[in-house]
Chains A and B, each alone.
Chain A
Amino acid sequence: MSGSTIWYVQRLSALVNLIYVFWVGGFFILNEITFENWSFFSSTFLFKASTSLVIISIIIHSSIGLWTVGTDYLTPRTLGFVSGNFGNYADLLRLMYQLLFITLSLTFTLTTLYMIWWL
C-alpha cells in the first residue's frame, strides 16, 4: 500500500469517527437522557449501521497509528538504544504486539457488532 493511500485512509477514518462523535454527542445534548429515548435511538437502523461503520473505522485508524508506533519503537535499532540484548528481541516483541492488537481488535469488533445487532 502506498504512503498516499495510507494517508488518505487515516484521514478519512478520522473524519468518519469525528462525524459520529458529533452526531451521537448531538443526541445527548439535544435530547433528554432517558432510557426510553436512548433505547429508541440505539435501536434505529441508522444508529446500528453507522456504529458498525465506526467500529471498522476505529480499527482501521488505530491499526495505521499503532503500526507506525510499532515500526518506530519496536525495532532492533530503537530497542537497542535501551540495551543491545533487548534489541535482539525486537522482531519477536513486534510480532507479539501485532498479535495482541489483532486479538483485541477482533474481540472488540465482534463483541460490539453482537451487542448492536443481536442483543
Chain B
Amino acid sequence: MIEVNIYRFNPETDKFPYMQKFNFEMPDRDIMVLELLNSLKESDPTISYRRSCREGVCGSDGMSINGKNGLACITPVSEVIKGNKLELRPLPGLPVVRDLVVDMTEFYAQYEKIKPFLQSDTPPPNQERLQSPSDRDKLDGLYECILCACCSTSCPSFWWNPDKFVGPAALLQAYRFIADTRDTRTEERLESLSDPFSVYRCHGIMNCVSVCPKGLNPNKAIGEIKSMLLTNKRHEAEIIASDGGGRS
C-alpha cells in the first residue's frame, strides 16, 4: 500500500487548490505512474490529467512527480517513490486548468515565435531537399523533442518571464532549424533571439537537461545559439547557406 497525494483544483467548485490523499495497493509488478493514475481514476472519475499514447511519444502526460517533472507514462513508480509516498502535481509555472491539466498557451506561443518550420530562399527541387549524412547528423539530439514542456516548466527563468524568455523546449527547436543546412534564414532566426530575454535569460542551471524524458540536452543547444550570437559564426552559417552548402 502506498500513499498517493494528488493536486486537486476544479475552478468551478474550488476556491483554492488542495492535495487529496489516496491509498493505493500496488500490484505485484512495477507499474508506470500513468497506470496508477488510471487505476485511481476508476475509483474517482473526477481526477483530471492529459494522456494519449501511453508510451512517451505524444508528450501529453507531463507532470511533477515527487517534485521532478516527467512523463507519467514512462516513469516507473519504483523509480520515483520516496518513503512509500508519491506526490503528483501539475507542471509548475503554468496556469492550472483543472487538477493535473495546465494551460499551455504561453508554452506554445514561444514555440510559434521561433518559426518551427524549414525556411529556404532557394527554389524548391523537383522531389525533396537533400542533405549529406554528416549534415543530417547535426540534427540528432534536436529533432526528437516531443514538446511535453517538462523542460520549460522546470526552468525558473521561464516561470518568471514566460512571455519574454523563449524557454528550453522552443530554443532546442530554434537551434534544430539554425543547425539545418537546408534552412537559409539563419541570420533572421538569430536576430529574432538577440534581445536580452529570448536566449540570454538562460543562466545554465540545467534543470531542463535533468528532467528531459527523451534524454535531450536543451542547454547545449542554447549554448550553441549563444555562441553564434556572440561570434561571427552566424555570418559564416549564412554564407554556407547562401552557397547551398550541405545540399548534395
Contact = CB atoms under 8 A, between A and B. Distances in A.
Interface of A: 1-4, 6-8, 68, 71-73, 75, 77-78
A20 B201 CA distance: 28
B96 interface: no
Contacts of A73: 160
A7 B196 CA distance: 9
A7 B193 CA distance: 14
Given A2-B194, A3-B229, A4-B229, A75 B160 contact: yes
B1 interface: no
Contacts of A78: 159-160
B157 A72 contact: yes
Interface in B212-234: 226, 229-230
A2 B157 contact: no
A6 B229 CA distance: 12
B170 interface: no
The 8 closest A-B pairs by CB, nearest first: A3-B200, A72-B160, A3-B196, A2-B194, A4-B229, A78-B160, A4-B230, A6-B196
Contacts of B157: 72
A3 B195 contact: yes
Interface string B180-213: 0000000000000111111111000000000000
Given A2-B194, A2-B195, A7 B161 contact: no
B231 to A, nearest CB: 9
A3 B199 contact: yes
Given A4-B229, A7-B200, 19 more contacts: A1-B196, A2-B195, A2-B196, A3-B193, A3-B194, A3-B195, A3-B196, A3-B200, A6-B196, A6-B200, A7-B230, A8-B230, A72-B156, A72-B157, A72-B160, A72-B161, A75-B160, A78-B159, A78-B160
Nearest to A71: B161
A115 B120 CA distance: 61
A73 B160 CA distance: 7
Interface string B156-172: 11011110000000000
Nearest to B156: A72
A93 to B, nearest CB: 15
A71 B162 CA distance: 12
Nearest to A5: B196
Nearest to A78: B160
Contacts of A6: 196, 200
Contacts of B162: 77
Contacts of A75: 160-161
Nearest to A77: B160
Contacts of A3: 193-200, 229
Most central of B162, B193, B229 by chain A CB within 10 Å? B229
Nearest to B195: A3
Contacts of A2: 194-196
Nearest to B165: A72
Nearest to A3: B200
B5 to A, nearest CB: 21
Contacts of A72: 156-157, 160-161
